Each structure stands twice: as structure tokens, then as C-alpha cells.
Structure 1
Amino acid sequence: MQPRFLLHLRAHGLPVGVGEYLALLGLLRAGLAESDIERFHSLSRTCLVKDEVHYDRFDRAFGAWLAGEQALAAAAGVELPTD
């Protein structure tokens, strides 16, 4: 995963630190969210959001990020996994 996810969340006003982001990357490398967007969402929110006040903001930012990734994949002619 590229750091643009971290930057995207920060741009949406979420106080996400590099340490939390690295923890998320470690869990992804361990295979905890393999090709499952719902697991990735839950894992990301658990690792990156430290105050439940930010849950709604995270969900909106995540949705916007995912829509952008899907648009990039469509423009490149790549199909993202659905499961």
C-alpha cells in the first residue's frame, strides 16, 4: 500500500500517525485482510483511529479513497478484486 492512503486520511482531518500506519502495514503483510475490503476497512479503522469521535470522518474518508482507487483501476483497465 502506498502512503497516499495515509496522506488522504490526513487531508480529511484525521490525526493518523506514521506509527499507526506502520502497524497497519505489518498486519497487512501478515495477511489479515487479504482481498477483503470489509476486513481492510475494519483493520484500518482499528489501527488508525484512536478516538471514536473520528469514526464517521474515517468512514467518509475511506469511502472517498476507495472510490478514487476504483476510478484509477478503471482508467488503467485493471479490475479490483470484489471479495
Structure 2
Amino acid sequence: MNGYKCPLCGKGQILESLTSKDYEYKGNSLTIDNILLRKCDTCGDSFEMMDDNKHMYEELLKFKSKVNGLLISSGTVECLAGRKRK
């Protein structure tokens, strides 16, 4: 997607980069690496695409389940992480 026009300002170009994000949940922390981030070089708007970062959602689901003491199968995680939002 590098080089596409920004959907917000219509002037800048969208550039891709990898980043890390830190999450905290109920006093526990998690860092997820290799998150694909898209950012406009003009207005600075940034966004992530769920399809590109499925691993991030899977890791978050596993993390929250572990903190909550829930057992969750990998198939359930894949199903929930891949679910389309309405």
C-alpha cells in the first residue's frame, strides 16, 4: 500500500512501517511486535488493517484469556480474531 493517496486528506502518500505496541490489562502488560502501521506523510493520520495484523488480535485474545484464567483453544482464537466486525 506504500504510495497510495491518504483517504483522509487526499494529498499525502501512505507509507508503511512496522511498529510495536504495549498493552496493559488488569495490571498485566504485553508488548506485541511486527504490527504493520500505515501513516500519511502529510496529515500524519495513521491506521492499521485488521487483515494485516491478525496476529496482534490473536495475541491480545490469548493474553486477556490468560489474565482472566480462561482456557481457550487456538481454533477459538483464530475464529474470534478473524471475525469481521460490523
TM-score normalized by the length of structure 1 = 0.27
Larger RCO, structure (CA 8 Å, separation 6 or more): 1
State the TM-score, normalized to the length of structure 2: 0.26
Higher strand share: 2
